[in-house]
Amino acid sequence: MTLLEEDTRTWTERAAGLTPRAGIYIDGAFRDARSGQTFASVNPATEQVIVDVAAGDAADVDDAVRSARAAFESGVWSRTAPGERKAIMLRLVALIGEHAHELALLDSLDMGKPVTEAYTIDVPGAAAVFSFYAEAIDKLYDEVAPTGPGDLALVRREPLGVIGAVVPWNFPLDLASWKLGPALAAGNSVVVKPAEQSPLSVLRLAELATEAGLPDGVLNVVPGDGPGAGAALGLHMDVDCLTFTGSTEVGKLFLQYAGRSNLKRVALECGGKSPNLVFADVDDLDAAADAACQAIFFNAGQVCSANSRLLVQREIHDELLERVVTRARALVPGDPLDPATRLGPLVSAEHADRVSDYINIGRGEATLVAGGERRGCYVEPAVFRDVAPSARIAREEVFGPVLAVLAFDTEAEAIMLANDSDYGLAASLWTSSLDRAHRVAPRLKVGTVSVNTVDALSPQTPFGGVRGSGFGRDLSLHALEQYTALKTTWIRFRDTP
Ligand code: NAD
């Protein structure tokens, strides 16, 4: 039976059979928070509590870092042959596949993501990332420097030690895997602090990693809030690198935490306000309209690289806008457990408040031509036209299904508008001119440009930003650089007998 032939009841019954893990995962076992405190994990579709989760704080982070350090120094993972690490990570990939329904459901229940997307995109995406790094790690060679006779200088990449990973709620399993894949493959130990809105899939993943053979202490998970557990990890004197995905505002704090503690390495993947430039010479306006909607309404707009600014050349502005509006109106929010649903609720009532506030701000500064109504945590896809470049909805990250449409006349103006942002994560560009594509793409101040598509990414290509979007790079072999340090070993030997 295909996923779409299944019905809501099948998924609802599966959900009822779940017993989510909700403790702190240290040394290969679950336990309560030292304080005994818990916080509620709430399903935004129903606003019901799924489970009470252990609320870790600085004391639990300290335990987790101690466990990670002990595992690292023992060499039980850090000094195993790359081929052994590969075998265990590939067993984890297989277990992710075997538990795909469960992992998809945990993300769907925890943050409202349509279960179809969790099952067909997030879960296979996480498996693909672990598989990529597992397969890569025994194929990477170190260097021998070109020294003279009697000298041999080895330049090797070594694991850093203990990695702290603080991740957001929009792709709970996937974004954790973007950190864990390269960090573990390189031989590090990791402490993950999932977002308080969505800790369940990562907790289960850690348990599956143990089942796959990952030694105890190599992967620990401390759920808890940002200012408590997140800051404790950022400030910890025995964490060697802190890798973060989340808002720019919190990303800046991690730089301060590093400066106030041990100068740990920091890798930041932060927010965005990505532009989607559609030139009048675009080949297929319908494809551009489909993609423009996908780029802002997928995951209810809760995507760091969401193309939240649609910049359209004036000759085709009205024609494209009409198509976008028709598609936006057809996108009806629904039950995430219905396999046909493509738009679920926002992650929480607080976040729905924030997005609704932006829609109200937008009503005062532009013209709302579709959607914008709110019901519980659900918000209809909203499209604004005649948005000035100075408008708040054109400048600030809404992180919801809200599209700001701006018109431009010339290529130069399009580039200027696209770059007129504090952020620089991604951009899309639609044109039938190869010349234009090559001319414009290098001038966009972002980490990824998608040409005649949107949000192009894969385990093989680096993902990250510039400016207010941070400077880290997840995915691809380059991500391994974040979790390793170069070590030179210079050996002098007698060159003559
Ligand atoms: P957030 O910054 O509020 O939270 C992210 C993580 O940081 C969470 O685990 C949170 O608990 C923790 N945190 C919060 N306050 C903290 C503090 N004072 N000290 C330490 N840790 C703290 O972001 P969010 O709301 O979870 O996610 C949305 C944001 O993430 C958006 O800005 C989005 O653009 C960004 N994001 C970026 C990428 C990327 O790859 N560039 C990917 C996904 C999301």
Q: Domain-by-domain residue ranges, the chain?
A: 3-270, 275-458
Atom 38 in ligand 1: residue holding the nearest Cα: 304
Note if 304 is an active site residue. yes
- Rounded distance between C-alpha atoms, residue 24 and residue 33, angstroms: 6
pLDDT the model gives residue 6: 80
Note if 377 is an active site residue. no
Catalytic choice (304, 377, 380, 397): 304
Say how many Å lie between the CA of residue 91 and the centre of ligand 1: 30
- Rounded distance between C-alpha atoms, residue 394 and residue 406, angstroms: 9
Closest by alpha carbon to 469, among 429, 428, 424?
A: 424
Crossing angle between the packed helical segments 82-98 and 123-137, to the nearest 10 degrees: 170
Strand residue runs (E) in 435-483? 448-451
Give the DSSP H/E element, type plus range, for residue 126: helix 123-137
Strand residue runs (E) in 27-175? 29-31, 38-43, 48-54, 143-145, 151-159, 162-166
One-letter amino acid of 250:
V
Q: Which residue has the tokens 């680096």?
A: 462
Say how many Å lie between the CA of residue 261 and the centre of ligand 1: 21
Give the residues across from 145 on adjacent strands: 153
pLDDT the model gives residue 224: 98
The answer for residues whose C-beta is within 8 angstroms of residue 398's C-beta and 6 or more apart is: 301, 308, 355, 358
Q: How many helices (H) and strands (E) does the chain have?
A: 17, 21
Distance of CA 197 to the CA centre of its chain: 14
Mean pLDDT of successive 10-residue segments in the chain (497 residues)? 74 95 98 98 96 98 98 98 98 98 98 97 98 98 96 98 98 98 98 98 98 98 98 98 98 98 98 98 98 98 98 98 98 95 97 98 98 96 98 98 98 98 98 98 98 97 98 98 98 93
Atom 40 in ligand 1: residue holding the nearest Cα: 269
pLDDT the model gives residue 104: 98
Q: Is-contact 284 436, C-beta < 8 A?
A: no
Handedness of CA 237, 241, 243, 248 (dihedral sign): positive
In angstroms, the first-to-last Cα distance of the chain is 74
For residue 402 and ligand 1, the question of a CB distance below 6 A is answered with: no
What is the assigned CATH class of domain 275-458? alpha beta
For residue 231 and ligand 1, the question of a CB distance below 6 A is answered with: yes
The domains spanning 3-270 and 275-458 adopt the same CATH topology = no
Query: CATH number of the domain at 3-270, please?
Result: 3.40.605.10
CA torsion, points 448, 453, 457, 460, in degrees to nearest 10? -90
Distance of CA 178 to the CA centre of its chain: 7
Whole-prediction pTM: 0.97
